Amino acid sequence: MVIRNEFWFTPRRKLWGLWLVAATAISVLGLHRAQSAGNDPPPVKLVDARIPGGALVIAGGGYVAADVRERFVNLAGGPQARIVVIPACDPRPGHEGEWLEPWRNLGVQSVELCNARDREMANDPAFCQPLIKATGVWFSGGYQDLLAKRYVDTAVQVCLRELLQRNGVIGGCSAGAAILSRVMIEEGENKPVEARGLGLISNAIIDQHLLRRNRVWRLQQMLDSHPDLCGLGIDERAAVVVEVESLRLSVIGESYALVCVPASGSHPSRIEVLKPGDDVLLSQLRSDHLAYHPPKDWNTSLGAE
């Protein structure tokens, strides 16, 4: 026994023993990974649906419906999407990842948070580098006045316009939706306060939470001061996809959007209601009345009378 122990603990036997332990560990680890991989859900397959001239995905607030997020990612390049999230409020330290998780879950190539604390940072070339590489930028809900003070007339705004020129997509929810228009409703319920937005859509004023917070009157007051503009009001859980070059509007999500059309020629001003699935050119809305048709399952969902 003594001879065997001495033989086992020779340098050569020590190396052989270490190799045997390492090989066993690698085999077990490989088996565990193979078993885990077999239990993983299949990756999300998204189609690249980018639009020449770029697109806007304007969400009205509340939670962002799954089909709205998926459409945004598709427009950003599908699995190859490089998304930048710009918050409309300052994230709590250590919780920045919560802003990125919904996009990571869709299997995009990269997602990054960019939060300029002031205008000086928004003009810093180093801060703008992720925007130069991005295929999609998403503005969160929060405070549109904060977004305006930090980003309007800065290098960030220039980067956003360049993103659209290379067929990217820019979206936002609630405050992140309001900031996208040139004429912006900064605040106010009974009397809206006007401010300047990013001007990514220049011929419409955007309002959000429209039906949920009964803001049709607020939007109409803003339009009284800008009779040449359309009003684009979007309810919670709904979004409007705008093709920037053609100004084609399509509604997705779970609620409605309203277009306040100004008077033109023999046509008086009016409000057009768009439901999920509706797809129309803004120029068509300004020249022709769009007859409203209820959803196909209207009687089923509300009960036939």
Domain boundaries in the chain?
2-39, 55-294
pTM of this structure: 0.80
* Alpha carbons 148 and 233: distance in angstroms, whole number: 20
Confidence of residue 221 (pLDDT cuts 50, 70, 90): very high
3-state helix, strand, coil in the chain (%, to 5): 35, 25, 40
Residue 304 has pLDDT above 70, yes or no: no
Dihedral angle, C-alpha 142, 145, 146, 149, nearest 10 °: 160
Amino acid 97: pLDDT? 83
Contact in structure between 233 and 258 (CB atoms under 8 Å): yes
**DSSP code for 254:** S
Confidence of residue 47 (pLDDT cuts 50, 70, 90): confident
- Sheet of strand 230-234: strand arrangement: 204-208, 230-234, 257-261, 270-274
Query: Which CATH superfamily, name and number, covers 55-294?
Result: Class I glutamine amidotransferase (GATase) domain (3.40.50.880)
Q: pLDDT for 234-279, tens place per residue?
A: 999 999 999 999 999 999 999 999 999 988 777 788 899 999 999 9
Bridge partners of 240?
58, 251
Share of the chain above pLDDT 90, in %: 68
